[in-house]
Amino acid sequence: MTANKKLEVKDLRVTFKTDHGLVQAVRDVSFDLYEGETLCIVGESGSGKSVTSKTIMQILANNAIVESGSIIYEGENLLEVSEEEFHKIRGHKIGMIFQDPLSSLNPIVRIGKQITEATLINSNKLKKMYEELISKELIAYKNAIAHANININKAKSKYELLLIESKEKLVNASEEEKAKIKNELLIAKNERDEKIATIKERLKKVLPSLKSALDKRKVEAKKEVREYKAKIKNDYATEVSSLSEKYKKDIEECTKSFEHSNKDASELKKALDEIANNHKKELHQAKKAYIDKTRVTKAEAKRRAIEIMREVGIPMPEKRFRQYPFEFSGGMRQRIVIAIALTAAPDILICDEPTTALDVTIQAQILELINKLKRERNLSCIFITHDLGVVANMADRVAVMYAGKIVEYGTAEEIFYEPKHPYTWALLSSIPDVDSKERLEAIPGTPPDMIYPPVGDAFADRSRYAMKIDYEYQPPFFKVSDTHYAATWLLHPDAPKVEMPRIVAERIKNARKGGQNNE
Amino acid sequence: MSNNKDLDYKLLSELESNNSANEQGNIFDDDHEDVSHASFEELVQNYKINPKVKKRDELLNSDIILSVRNLKQFFFFGSGLHRTKLKAVSNISFDVHEGECFGIVGESGCGKTTTGRSIIRLYDITSGAIYYKGYRISAGDRWNRKEIKYTRIRLNDKIKELREKKKNDILALDKNNPDYSSLVNEISKNCDSEINEARAAAYKIINEQVRKINQVRYDNNHVNKKLVNEIQMIFQDPIDSLDPRMTVEDIIQEGLMIQGYRDKTKNHKKVVEVLEKVGLVADHASRYPHEFSGGQRQRIGIARALIMNPKLLICDEPISALDVSIRAQIINLLNELKEELGLTIIFIAHDLSVVKYFCNRIAVMYFGKIVELASSEELFKNPLHPYTKSLLSAIPKPDPISEKSRTRIIYNPAEAHDYSVDKPELREVKPGHTVYCNNAEFEKYKAELKD
């Protein structure tokens, strides 16, 4: 694909601190998102697909630790960006649609208010202008702090991880070993404190200059905004005065022209009325133009909201605008959620199982809508789901996730017609399709406990094709084609040749036949 | 207690001998149309038992295990002026044969879950009747009440009419006629006798209906519980349907306890047996639901149904809330149990490919009505009703080529049908394939099938 990269996720590792231990939700996930494409992430619940998307949006729960990795968007690492700067990205650049439309809408606020909320919060254009003027300095200042904080947290969490590990070790350790471990811990603690101290010192050095720059800029920006405001106010005042002069002139001319003719007084009144009306209209327009320069009005926001509601296929948006979420059906609610995500015109849309709570016909409608919007607005989509039928419909490329890792990725055709990983086979064979009659091949067992992730291939325990090496070493990505990679030892040149399950092979054969017939 | 089957038969025979009323109970209330008799005469003349109804002996001897007749389930909201009626299920009928798997599909809100819940008596049904093995286990009396109401109205109209006639007749008489008083007497006498006749005819109907209402009430309150226990249900959400504060053993044996089996050792034995049947181990009995994964919880739900020795299992979207990799496990388990225990299953779902895989016959529901009913192969091969076509066109397939070229058929009932003159009903287009249609559509569908 020659299109440019929109988003680049590299070696992402996310861990959750819980009472039972550390849950390694995402382990070394990397993928790219290209412009205008849909990337589907497939996997069962608990495979880390939602966590990945939440990390991109930076809306993880408090107990989450991003251990390593980077998410690069427009040349910036989103993991090292301060919350202030993220306000400009979240929603505006990267939008998100959640799974359950009922719980993502506020039940006691009218739909219209919920859609226009984002627009109205940023409605003051002068304030926005001021913020934009100081944004460079402010972001530099805040980023410095955020960067330091992130580094401090990293150091802290590194020590904590070590602490938890050594606690486990301590249980079965002899006295000597205990002393050794404690010593190690002490060293680590000192190291941590030192590191934190250096970070803080460095920050102290940098901060004053940044702060002074920011303060200076603030004063300048305030002045600039004030000047701008005065200017537009002045412009408005001059326009109003010129309009009123023109009005006086018009009236004079009109009365003069009537004095010399022998027309009725009523006609004169009519002509004067017309002039007055025109004047009123012009005044109104001038005022509107002035207000448009200063803020987004409620009427304007409503107009935009109704436009977008029409775009996502809600009939009678003027009436629907004043209704509550409970007055909508499931499909309509999901449309509202999509409309809210689209108001700020993002260029990346993350859809976290948007159709799981809907039934077949509504699901098809919503998928069609998302596809249409994607085409019209040239959106790049990350689509998270566990329904392979939906994946086949939406995806340009597919990433299959299992136990916090991507096990296979490639284009949709490659994944569906030439799957290589046993887990992809299992997923494909476990769902009956319209033609299947024989017994289904269920995946035995349950996903692994991510507090103690397996050493080797995570899927080995549930796989028929597991080899000895699967239990010892994690398989690297083997290249199948330029766009298709799979992490399984079965692709190693020394591995025995294994055929995919009969059901999958047959289904692929049928699908290919059907595809040719269609063409 | 040890031999459940003997007990069942004993109770059944008891029921048969004691409850002669029940025997009568099954010949009416069944196939009826909405009360729409135009006049009193029509009402009296048309009042007869519908011959289409299968006799109870017929039901007993056939392999029909469950027969749903004209089931209506309405819900009422509000009071006074704001009282509104929701027709969740309106007039559906179907038979389920022994050992088969009967699927009900439709979009959310079409009444498929309500149907399941009405069958297992979670709701008191509004109208219609449900027969299990030839015994009426549940019936509604709304139709009878309506019949009484309309009979009364028609009767009053009739009486008014007769009195008016009498008045006119008397006015038309010549007052100077010497026989005036005797003629008047005669006319009023005739009129009175006519009124009495009409009243008698009407009250015959009303009394009959009152008797039926009482019968329905009696039957509903005196259903053989052993019989109803043979119908069990599996619920959709394995998380919400299990009480978090009860151990698995308590959850599974709750049904037994309610039915009076209180011997703990025996119950425990049964629980362990049933746990092994659904692929769990005996150790799990003492744990709590939160310690299990979604698939295991659904297995517990199945075990809870199985411990009552069911013959008929109603599965209300048993796999919708489960994970992909677990779904196949549960489908296989249900299939195995079906074969091992000879279960009859009513499978309610909106995932058409699963229903196709699992069921012998499928009923498609749309807004409280069955619009098409056929064997699963037939339905997928020759879908006739536009809604079925639309539903089939929306199934997502794990196949990118066909999926990307797919065109969805949109169903718009206002455009698809013209029912202003000719009212539709369920008609058999082909043996075993019924469609909800009117005359014109019936011919159209037949022609479609021939092609």
pLDDT in tens, B393-429: 888 877 888 777 778 888 888 888 888 777 788 888 8
pLDDT in tens, A280-296: 999 999 988 888 888 88
What is the DSSP-derived secondary structure letter of residue B52? T
- Average the pLDDT over B341-349 and give the result: 92
Closest residue in B to A416 (Cα) is B399
Cβ distance of A360 and B350 shorter than 8 Å: yes
Q: Which of B327, B393, B399 sits opposite A511 (nearest CB)?
A: B399
Determine the pLDDT at residue B374. 93
Which tokens belong to A281?
A: 């209209």
Determine the pLDDT at residue A293. 85
Cβ distance of A439 and B335 shorter than 8 Å: yes
> Cα separation of B312 and B138, whole Å?
16
Sheet holding A22-34, edge to edge: A22-34, A5-17, A64-73, A76-77
Using the predicted structure, report yes or no on whether residue B297 has a pLDDT greater than 50.
yes
Confidence of residue B169 (pLDDT cuts 50, 70, 90): confident
Closest residue in B to A433 (Cα) is B353
- Distances in Å between the Cα of B64 and the Cα atoms of A107, B95, B430 are 47, 6, 20
| Residue A493 exposure: Cα atoms within 13 Å on the Cβ side | 0
Residue-range domain boundaries for chain B: 1-60+140-222
Residue-range domain boundaries for chain A: 1-93+347-451+487-509
CB neighbour burial string for A469-501, b if at least 16 within 10 angstroms, e if fewer: bbeeebbeebebeeebbbbbbbbeeeeeeeebb
H-state helical runs in B292-396? 294-306, 324-341, 352-358, 376-381, 386-393
Chain B residues interacting with chain A (CB cutoff of 8 angstroms): 107-109, 293-296, 323-329, 331-332, 335, 350-354, 356-358, 380, 390-391, 393-406, 408, 411
Chain A nearest C-alpha distance from B91 (Å)? 24
Which tokens belong to B103?
A: 């699927």
Q: With H, G, I as helix, E, B as strand and everything else as coil, classify residue A385.
A: strand
Chain A contacts of B295, Cβ < 8 Å? 446
> Do A247 and A275 touch, CB atoms closer than 8 A?
yes
> Cα separation of A335 and A313, whole Å?
7
H-state helical runs in B89-141? 112-119
Q: Which of A431, A504, A509 has the most B C-beta neighbours within 10 Å, making it the best mutation to test the interface with B?
A: A431
Fold of A1-93+347-451+487-509: Rossmann fold (3.40.50)
Cβ distance of B398 and A428 shorter than 8 Å: yes
Chain B contacts of A362, Cβ < 8 Å? 107-108
Q: Would you say how long chain B is, in residues?
A: 451
Q: Which of A361, A417, A512 has the most B C-beta neighbours within 10 Å, making it the best mutation to test the interface with B?
A: A361
Phi, psi for residue A9 in degrees, rounded to 5: -105, 130
> Cα separation of B41 and B33, whole Å?
17
Cβ distance of A412 and B400 shorter than 8 Å: yes
Confidence of residue B3 (pLDDT cuts 50, 70, 90): very low
Chain A contacts of B406, Cβ < 8 Å? 393
Chain B contacts of A358, Cβ < 8 Å? 108
Using the predicted structure, report yes or no on whether residue B27 has a pLDDT greater than 70.
no
Q: Closest Cα partner for A26 from A65, A63, A61? A: A65
Chain A nearest C-alpha distance from B365 (Å)? 13
Using the predicted structure, report yes or no on whether residue B16 has a pLDDT greater than 70.
no
Determine the pLDDT at residue B26. 38
Cβ distance of A430 and B327 shorter than 8 Å: yes
Determine the pLDDT at residue B46. 61
CB neighbour burial string for B53-89, b if at least 16 within 10 angstroms, e if fewer: bbebeebeeeebbbbbbbbbbbeeeeeeeeeeeeebb
Q: Give long-range contacts, CB 8 A cutoff, 24+ apart: B213-219.
A: B213/B141, B213/B144, B213/B145, B215/B21, B215/B24, B215/B25, B216/B25, B216/B29, B216/B139, B216/B140, B216/B141, B216/B144, B217/B141, B218/B21, B219/B21, B219/B22, B219/B25, B219/B136, B219/B139
Closest residue in B to A413 (Cα) is B400
Chain B nearest C-alpha distance from A434 (Å)? 5
Cβ distance of A389 and B408 shorter than 8 Å: no
Q: Which of B280, B397, B409 has the most A C-beta neighbours within 10 Å, making it the best mutation to test the interface with A?
A: B397
Residues of chain A with pLDDT under 70: 1-3, 262, 436, 514-519
Using the predicted structure, report yes or no on whether residue B19 has a pLDDT greater than 50.
no
Cβ distance of B328 and A433 shorter than 8 Å: no
Interhelix angle B248-258/B264-277, rounded to 10 degrees, is 120
> Which residue type is seen at B334?
L
Q: Over the Cα atoms of chain B, what is R_g? A: 27
Q: With H, G, I as helix, E, B as strand and everything else as coil, classify residue A206.
A: helix
Chain A contacts of B408, Cβ < 8 Å? 364-365, 368
Determine the pLDDT at residue B45. 66
Q: With H, G, I as helix, E, B as strand and everything else as coil, classify residue A95.
A: strand
Cβ distance of B394 and A511 shorter than 8 Å: no
> Residue for token digits 């919920």?
A114
Chain B contacts of A413, Cβ < 8 Å? 400-401
Cβ distance of A44 and B394 shorter than 8 Å: no
Q: Which of B291, B336, B366, B403 has the most A C-beta neighbours within 10 Å, making it the best mutation to test the interface with A?
A: B403
Q: Which of A361, A412, A446 sits opposite B293 (nearest CB)?
A: A446
Cβ distance of A432 and B329 shorter than 8 Å: no
- Distances in Å between the Cα of A278 and the Cα atoms of A76, A264, A275 are 53, 22, 5
Q: With H, G, I as helix, E, B as strand and everything else as coil, classify residue A487.
A: coil
Which tokens belong to B230?
A: 């043979």
Chain A nearest C-alpha distance from B301 (Å)? 18
Cβ-Cβ contacts under 8 Å between A and B: the total is: 140
Q: How many helices (H) and strands (E) in chain B?
A: 18, 12
Q: Which of B237, B391, B399 has the most A C-beta neighbours within 10 Å, making it the best mutation to test the interface with A?
A: B399
Closest residue in B to A425 (Cα) is B325
Closest residue in B to A418 (Cα) is B399
Q: Which of B324, B333, B393 has the most A C-beta neighbours within 10 Å, making it the best mutation to test the interface with A?
A: B324
Q: Which of B331, B390, B399 sits opposite A440 (nearest CB)?
A: B331
> Cα separation of B22 and B138, whole Å?
11
Pairing mode, if any, of strands A5-17 and A22-34?
Answer: antiparallel
Chain B contacts of A430, Cβ < 8 Å? 324-325, 327-328
> Cα separation of B24 and B322, whole Å?
45
Pairing mode, if any, of strands B64-77 and B127-132?
Answer: antiparallel
Chain B contacts of A387, Cβ < 8 Å? 324, 396
Q: Which of B110, B320, B376, B401 has the most A C-beta neighbours within 10 Å, making it the best mutation to test the interface with A?
A: B401
Q: Which of B327, B398, B405 sits opposite A433 (nearest CB)?
A: B398
Chain B nearest C-alpha distance from A323 (Å)? 20
Residues with Cβ within 8 Å of A11's Cβ and at least 6 positions away in sequence, in order, are: A28, A29, A30, A68, A69, A70
Cβ distance of A364 and B357 shorter than 8 Å: no
Cβ distance of B408 and A330 shorter than 8 Å: no
Q: With H, G, I as helix, E, B as strand and everything else as coil, classify residue B131.
A: strand
pLDDT in tens, B41-90: 766 666 654 444 555 666 677 788 888 888 889 888 888 888 888 888 98
Cβ distance of A447 and B391 shorter than 8 Å: no
Chain A contacts of B398, Cβ < 8 Å? 388-389, 391-392, 416, 428, 431, 433, 507
Angle at CA of residue A282, ends A279 and A285, nearest 5°:
150
| Other beta carbons less than 10 A from residue B176's beta carbon | 6
> Cα separation of A236 and A228, whole Å?
12
> Residue for token digits 């007084």?
A265
The enclosing H or E element of B105 equals: strand B101-105
> Do A416 and B400 touch, CB atoms closer than 8 A?
yes
> Cα separation of A241 and A234, whole Å?
11
> Residue for token digits 């055929």?
A499
> Residue for token digits 């089957």?
B5
| Residue A492 exposure: Cα atoms within 13 Å on the Cβ side | 14
What are the E-state strand segments in B177-311?
231-234
Confidence of residue B232 (pLDDT cuts 50, 70, 90): very high
Chain B nearest C-alpha distance from A265 (Å)? 59
Chain A contacts of B404, Cβ < 8 Å? 392-393
Q: Closest Cα partner for A38 from A391, A444, A303? A: A391
Chain B nearest C-alpha distance from A285 (Å)? 45
Determine the pLDDT at residue A516. 54
Determine the pLDDT at residue A446. 76
Q: With H, G, I as helix, E, B as strand and everything else as coil, classify residue B235.
A: coil
Look up the ipTM and state it: 0.73
Chain A nearest C-alpha distance from B58 (Å)? 34
Q: With H, G, I as helix, E, B as strand and everything else as coil, classify residue A283.
A: helix
